Amino acid sequence: MKKKVKDITYKEIFKTLLKSVREYKREALLSMFFIVLEAVIECAMPFLMSNLIDTMQNSLTNEEMVRSVLIYSSILVVMAFASLACGILAGRMSATAGVGFASNLKEDLFKKINTFSFQNIDKFSVSSLVTRQNSDVWFVQMCFTMLIRICLRAPLMTIFSIVMAGILAPHLFWIYFITIPVLSLSLLAIALKAMPMFRGIFQKYDKLNESIEENVRGIRVVKTYVREEYEKEKFDTSSDNLAKNFIKAERLVALNSPIMQTVMYLSMFLIMMIGSSIIVKTTNIEGGIVVADLTVGNLSSLITYGAQILMSINMFSMIFVMFSMSIASMKRICEVLNEEPSIKNCDNPVTEMKNGEIEFKNVSFKYSANAEKFALEGVNLHIKPGQMVGIVGGTGSSKSTLVNLISRFYDTSDGEVLVDGINVKNYDLKVLRTNVSMVLQNNILFSGTIAENLRWGNKEATDEEIKEACDIAQASSFVDGFPGKYDMMIQQGGINVSGGQKQRLCIARAILKKPKVLILDDSTSAVDTKTDALIRKGLRETLPNTTKIIIAQRLNSVQDADFIVVMDDGKINGIGTHEELLKTNRIYQDIYEIQNRIGGK
């Protein structure tokens, strides 16, 4: 088991995945038990058939024959029903175990993804995480169900059948020495050739899935840029390509069946030919009883055992192909399950935040260890509790990056971010993120009522508190106009509210947390200037003790702040009030001039 699939061993893969079997272990084991029982019965039946045929042949009287036929057939009927019952029970158990295992696996993936930091999510990408949750889990479920059904049955059937065939007709045993290797080698050759083909197909399949998802999510942008035809062609090309490769691989695997049939009929032919000549040559009647090296009963059972051996070998090849098809999925699931969240609680974390005073001390930050450029470099900044601070700067100047470090969406590469004099790494994550409330630049609402969405901020919030938060965020006026008001359903992704309404609801949701620090990352960009000013006024008057950080593109969204930080290329270019910066800061002057010129026209 030391063999590696790139950087993870098979042993590690099994160990990780099997943890998700949990409460379904019983069903999986019971299923295996019934399968073993079924295999034992199926192997004993041809032996009894052989005895039945021989007894019929050797019966001296009709009554004796009828009696033995009755006895044997009753036993055979009971065995057939027992085998059927075992088969049904094994099927039910394995299906329950497979579905249960898959649902546990999905739950484990979901729980794990929820512990991920932004860095972890960046590493995998959202669509890849969704693919892993869906199609990869489905493949692993199929493989798991097949494994518990076949992993014991195939070897047991092979061994039992070989032993029984050996007992019944040792002189014909050599036939299996030809047919078993011929069939095994042919099926192995097919499986080995098909495996890399399937692996390639599934990698492309993942990419196709990811691109479908990206396209459907971004369907509005696709339409805006009239890219439907282009995207359709792109999809058709990759889909056709995939279909061609799939057909090639499937054609190869479809050879299994004719090869299997040929070898099976060939072995039956050999057994019949050689077996019947042995019967003819060696049969004597001694005292009314047929004596021969091989009986007719033995011959018929031998054919059945031969078929069972070859079918078991076919099962091996099927599981081999299935396994190789799902190993990539298993690995991709394990990658997520074994990923360490890059941001975790420290030991004995601080569980209270007092004032919301923020300090950046020589902070530098890179998005990944091997990134060439620092996204933030040498940042020093001090914000007193209750202050309202504006952050401005060109796109990509690292405004969002700067504030993301306060609530530990990312950890600094160098230097420290302190809240109330304590490094943010020493806070309990839940406490930190509850007290530092952030309206993200690309914020979303979830399906559910408006009230439910707002209660994400505080699940205990009363209707009055919700109304109050909406008043500050200038959201109550439009919510009151909605049918059902706070009970109106928001559709998935918040598509049934306008951009500006969504921003105001997101601000209300953040206010409901009653945070010590409130960060609005470009959160009023879709709101008109008058409403924007009213929101700021509301924040200043109703949340005087909350530290407020407002990132904005429009200078009039920040000009009444206590001070404004000008960002440029990951560094602080200037700090001061609106008037001070207008006198001293080149970038600020440029932004002001451009915005006033455009505004003045």
Ligand X SMILES: Nc1ncnc2c1ncn2[C@@H]1O[C@H](COP(=O)(O)OP(=O)(O)OP(=O)(O)O)[C@@H](O)[C@H]1O
397 near Mg ion (CB under 5 A): no
Task: Considering the complex, state which of residue 117 and residue 324 has its C-beta at the smaller distance from ligand X.
Answer: 117
- Facing residues of 419 across strands? 358, 422
Contacting Mg ion (CB under 5 A), which of 55, 441, 449, 553?
441
Q: Which does 106 bind (CB under 5 to 8 A by kind): ligand X, Mg ion, none?
A: none
We find the least distance from the C-beta atom of residue 557 to ligand X, in angstroms, to be 13
Query: Which residue's CB is nearer to ligand X, number 73 or number 119?
Result: 119
Shortest Cβ distance from residue 569 to ligand X (Å)?
Answer: 9
297 binds, among Mg ion, ligand X, none (CB under 5 to 8 A by kind): none
**Longest alpha-carbon distance in the chain:** 127
Nearer to ligand X, 117 or 298 (CB): 117
210 binds, among ligand X, Mg ion, none (CB under 5 to 8 A by kind): none
Name the closest residue to Mg ion (Cβ).
Answer: 400
Tell which residue, 80, 69, 70, has the closest CA to residue 45: 80
- Inter-residue contact 335 to 116 (CB < 8 Å): no
Across 82-152, where does the E strand assignment appear?
A: none
Tokens describing residue 452: 């439910």
Among ligand X, Mg ion, none, the one that 401 touches (CB under a kind-dependent 5 to 8 A) is ligand X
Residue 4, by phi and psi: left (phi above 0), alpha (psi -120 to 50) or beta?
beta
Binding stretches for ligand X (CB under 6 A) = 122, 367, 375, 393, 395-401, 441, 522
Nearer to ligand X by Cβ, of 297 and 393: the residue is 393
| Placement of tokens 């295999």 in the chain | 39
CB 551, min distance to Mg ion, A: 7
Q: What's the closest the beta carbon of residue 129 comes to ligand X, in angstroms?
A: 15
What does the block give as tokens for 295?
Answer: 């009986």
User: Quick one: 119 or 496, whose CB is closer to ligand X?
Assistant: 119
For 30, other C-beta atoms within 10 Å of its C-beta total 18
* In the complex, minimum distance from the CB of residue 122 to ligand X, in angstroms, rounded to a whole number: 5
Sorted by sequence, the CB contacts under 8 Å of residue 386 that are 6+ apart come out as 355, 356, 544, 545, 546, 547
Stretch that binds Mg ion, among 163-171, 360-368, 398-406, 463-471 (CB under 5 A): 398-406
Are 85 and 311 in contact by the 8 Å Cβ rule? The answer is: no
325, burial (CB in 10 Å: exposed 0-12, middle 13-18, buried 19+) = buried
Should residue 496 be labelled a site residue for Mg ion when binding is judged by CB under 5 A? no
* Beta carbon nearer to ligand X, 399 or 513: 399
- Residue (320 or 367) nearer to ligand X, CB: 367
What does 397 bind: Mg ion, ligand X, none (CB cut-off 5 to 8 Å by kind)?
ligand X
β-strands 517-521, 436-439 pairing:
parallel
Q: Chain centroid to CA 25: how far?
A: 21
* DSSP per-residue letters across 286-302: ETTEEE-SS-HHHHHHH
Q: How far is the CB of 436 from Mg ion (least distance, A)?
A: 17
- With H, G, I as helix, E, B as strand and everything else as coil, classify residue 175: helix
Q: Residues 397, 400, 437, 559: which binds Mg ion (CB under 5 A)?
A: 400
> Interface with Mg ion by CB under 5 A: which residues?
400, 441
